[in-house]
Structure 1
Amino acid sequence: MRKRSRLGLLWFILTIAWMAFIFMKSAEPYSVQDMKPALGSFVSEEKLLRYVPRWEFFYDGSLVSWREPYHFVEFFIRKCGHIAEFALLTLLLILTLSARVRSKGLVAAGSGLIAVLYACSDEWHQTFVPGRTGHLADVAVDSIGVVLVLAAYLIVIAARRRR
């Protein structure tokens, strides 16, 4: 087996493993993933209130408010997690497709499309999990990670072409 082929197989296996990890985390009820008790044992509500910005906004019909500091902090941790998990998925997809596809544009388009479709299926999957809901807004958050990695990939490709 050629080195490029073995490397492509490795990236493919890692990509599937990461997708399985995302699927398993999505299958957990919210009660298993609730970070508020851990935050409460780490820092007091009064202390946290001193540091969180005085923001309130609606996200997918629910109020996110600084007045509930544990919920507020957990909200941002969870959204950053969405961005990171789909950024990594996109990177793995780029590496997997690059082992087989020569066109960099096709690699970028394919990776982005697969990652966003997986984000959609992930949110749909959550609608079947007790205590979880699928949100189209979360697909948009996941897509931030996808776009960041695709932008970095295209910048690197453009920089290499200039050399």
Structure 2
Amino acid sequence: MSNRKWWQIATIIWMVVIFLFTQLPYFTGSHTAMAIDKLFFIDKIDFLSSQAKLLLIDLLNFLIRKATHLTAFGILSFFLFKSLERFRFSYLFAWCITFFYAMTDEWHQSFVPNRTASFKDVLIDASGAFIVLLLTFLIKVKKRKKGRPRGQQLP
């Protein structure tokens, strides 16, 4: 099986994983907040007021959830890029497909009880894809330059 086929299989599996996590009620904001409270023992912090504890939980909840969006869709864009790498506009295609999948994922989420769809999340997903694809591009350029003899310019 070709290397590209493995990336295509990884892409499909990752899309299914995203779909399944979107569907689970355990990943709502309130469930995540409760998990954060238990994981970090925030209710045990004596020097914070109850309002400060809630604000801390909300902040951590926001950061963790948005970092998850950035990461999940960044990974998807990388898998897509590797699947499409031999094509001329592989970076653009990978980003566009990731953006479209993020929109359909939020639309799907709107049908899941206790979940809401947010275009802000789509933008965060697209940003994660952009960041990963930019890093991929920069790493490839650096590797290409490293492999050339000294003094030879890139075409």
Give the TM-score band, short-chain normalised.
0.7 to 0.9
Unaligned 5+ residue runs, structure 2? 149-155
> In 1, are the aligned partners of 2:77 and 2:98 still within 8 Å (CA)?
yes
Alignment of 1:1-150 (within 5 A): 6-29=2-25, 32-33=26-27, 34-42=31-39, 43-45=41-43, 47=45, 67-98=54-85, 101-103=86-88, 106-150=89-133
- Residues 53-107 of structure 1 deviation map (CA, whole Å, 9 limit, x = unaligned): xxxxxxxxxxxx9753223211110100000000100110111112xx242xx11
Going from structure 1 to structure 2, the CA distance change for 1:92 and 1:116 (only over 3 Å counts) comes to same
Displacement after TM superposition at 1:159 (Å): 2.9
Instruction: Report the Cα offset of residue 133 of structure 1.
Output: 0.7
* TM-score normalised by L of structure 1: 0.76
Distance in 1, matches of 2:46 and 2:57, equals: 8
Give the aligned partner of residue 142 of structure 2: 159
- Report % sequence identity: 29
Encode CA deviations 1:101-136: one digit per residue, 9 max, x unaligned: 242xx1101000000110111111111000111100
Cα distance in structure 2, aligned partners of 1:48 and 1:9: 54
Tell which structure's C-alpha radius of gyration is larger. 2
Paired with 2:46 and 2:125, the residues of 1 have a C-alpha distance of: 27
Q: TM-score, normalised by structure 2?
A: 0.79
Separation in 2, partners of 1:68, 1:122: 28
The CA distance in 1 between the partners of 2:95 and 2:133, in whole Å, is 7
